[in-house]
Amino acid sequence: MKSNSPKFRKSAELVAAICGGLLMSFPAFAQTPVTQQPSSANAKVNPCPSIFYEPQHTNRVLVPQGCPPNALTQRMQSQGMLPSGSVPAAPSADQTRMGVGGETPSTTTNSTNSGVNPNPGILNERPYNRSQQPSQPDSSTTYTTPQQVPTQQNSVTEPSLQQQGQTPVTTVALANGNVNVRLVNDTGANVTYQVIGDTDQRSLSGKSDVILQGLHAPVTVTFQREDGGLLSVTPQPSSETGLLEVRLKETTNVAQDKKAMRIQSNGSVYLN
């Protein structure tokens, strides 16, 4: 019995040391932080995706309100077709963080080195489905106009189109600053038209006409054949004060194809 007592004491000390080590390790496990996975529900959607700035769309599609202008938006602003304050000239801090012109700064790819769909599905999805008709990939001059447009167009400074080298095609006598426009569709196709800052896009059937009443100058009206064909626009002043007749005809001459008409506050009419 005396010889077994020291062995029993050593075994008891070894078991006590092991148990003590396990008890000391429990607080370390309890304090180990748990990594939380980011929730995809809180991820933001870039309001200015790269599709609006790619070569095959920058000259055909207007950017949504609040995005830096692409080539078409800048051209229409410089010609007085859109107010210069409707879109910022530089991206905001939030847009810069998200990567304006791309989904995120880390996922932007070089579209020139890969096959690009000329008619991507994003233009038909919310919030970018701002046109009633899909864009036409075969026509470099076809573009879509957003339905949500700024209403403060008439309050901005009116640019001088004559100083920009443009000559008015005709002049209409305004009635207290207002003008009525009679659109006559002489084509066999439907034509989509819109009064920028006043109406959404509307459709005018072939061989029919409509009168737009009480448009306050300066005002811009856009046109587009729904079949993607070329459109000739001919404004003709009427003998009635404050009335302008605009005839829309088919054409095969690209130089005659027009997409917008601008009526200045002095009655001068310009086409673009």
Q: Is residue 3 part of a domain?
A: no
Q: What is the DSSP string of 66-96?
A: TSPP-HHHHHHHHTTSS-GGGS-SS--HHHH
Q: Are residues 204 and 140 in the same domain?
A: no
Enter the tokens of residue 7.
Answer: 């062995």
Residues 170 and 86 in one domain: no
Best-predicted range by mean pLDDT among 116-125, 157-166, 247-256? 247-256
Task: Give the separation between CA 64 and CA 82, rounded to whole angstroms.
Answer: 13
> The pTM is what?
0.47
Model pLDDT, residue 272: 92
Instruction: Identify whether 34 is part of a domain.
Output: no
The answer to whether residue 224 scores a pLDDT higher than 70 is yes
Handedness of CA 149, 155, 161, 167 (dihedral sign): positive
pLDDT for 114 equals: 46
Confirm whether 79 is domain-assigned: yes
Is the confidence at residue 256, as pLDDT, over 70?
yes
Taking Cα atoms as reference points, which of 223, 244, 125 lies closest to residue 175? 244
pLDDT at position 86: 52
Q: Are residues 177 and 232 in the same domain?
A: yes
Tell whether 97 is covered by a domain: yes
* Chain segment 86-109, per-residue pLDDT in tens: 555 555 555 555 444 444 444 444
CATH number at residue 205: 2.60.40
User: Does 165 share its domain with 265?
Assistant: yes
Tell me if 16 is assigned to some domain: no
The answer to whether residue 40 sits within a structural domain is: no
Check residue 216 and give its pLDDT: 95
Confidence tier at 62 by pLDDT (50, 70, 90): confident
pLDDT of residue 251: 95
pLDDT, residue 229, reads 93
User: pLDDT at position 38, please?
Assistant: 53
CA torsion through residues 228, 234, 240, 241, sign:
positive
Which tens digits make up the pLDDT trace of 102-144?
A: 444 444 444 444 455 555 666 666 555 544 444 444 444 444 4
- Helix and strand tally (H, E) in the chain? 3, 10
Residue 229 neighbours by CB under 8 Å, 6+ apart = 187, 189, 250
Are residues 135 and 168 located together in one domain of the fold? no
Structural domain of 78:
45-104+121-150
Distances (CA, A) of 194 to 117, 131, 183: 28, 11, 11
Question: Is residue 260 domain-shared with residue 230, that is, in the same domain?
Answer: yes
Q: What tokens does 226 get?
A: 């729904």
- Sequence-distant contacts of 166-169: CB under 8 A, at least 24 apart: 166/79, 166/270, 168/264, 168/268, 168/269, 168/270, 169/235, 169/269, 169/270, 169/271
How many C-beta atoms lie closer than 10 Å to residue 177's C-beta?
Answer: 13
- 233 and 180 both lie in a single domain: yes
